[in-house]
Amino acid sequence: MKVAERDAGFTEFVAARSAHLRRVAYAICGDPTRADDLLQTALVKLYVAWPRVRREAVDLDAYVRTILVRAQIDETRRPWRRERAVRVPEQASVGEVGERAALFEALQRLPEMQRKVIVLRHWLQLSVAETARELGIGEGTVKSHSSRGLTTLRTALEAADRA
């Protein structure tokens, strides 16, 4: 594969999927700035592996999602990430934007693995087996994290509706 062909294929993929992948990164980490950093890290790793993944006909979306999840795990293990800044939530407007903001706020309160399972299973609509494979956990663990996460989300959203 020539460099021009490689770059053209990669550029085409990034142009077509970067907005979706950024939303996935945001859902995983909950911070728009960190989502941009996470996506950039994933795209750099994808570019390095591009000839191999194209040759092996790998599902590119699944491959990048795996990179995003693993890069986020790596990033949270860094010492400077253990300290968390307190963010004041932005005021949400009424209607769908307010509901989405409440959902993302409740989603960010979930434990990390439950949040990842909820995003992959219910937002990206992956199967239990696909979610388990991407996170490197068992299918039963995916089901239990999903059940607990959905219960917690429902409770948080009902409390937000009452308030």
How far is the C-alpha of 92 from the C-alpha of 98, rounded, in Å? 5
Confidence of residue 16 (pLDDT cuts 50, 70, 90): very high
CATH of domain 93-163: 1.10.10.10
The CATH class for the domain spanning 1-84 reads: mainly alpha
The average pLDDT across 42-66 equals 90
Q: Give one DSSP letter per residue of 97-143, joined into a string.
A: HHHHHHHHHHHHHS-HHHHHHHIIIIIS---HHHHHHHHT--HHHHH
Q: Is the pLDDT of residue 123 over 90?
A: no
**Is residue 41 predicted with pLDDT exceeding 90?**
yes
Q: Which pLDDT score, from 0 to 100, does residue 86 have?
A: 44
Q: Mean pLDDT throughout 55-67?
A: 89
- Domain extent listing, the chain: 1-84, 93-163
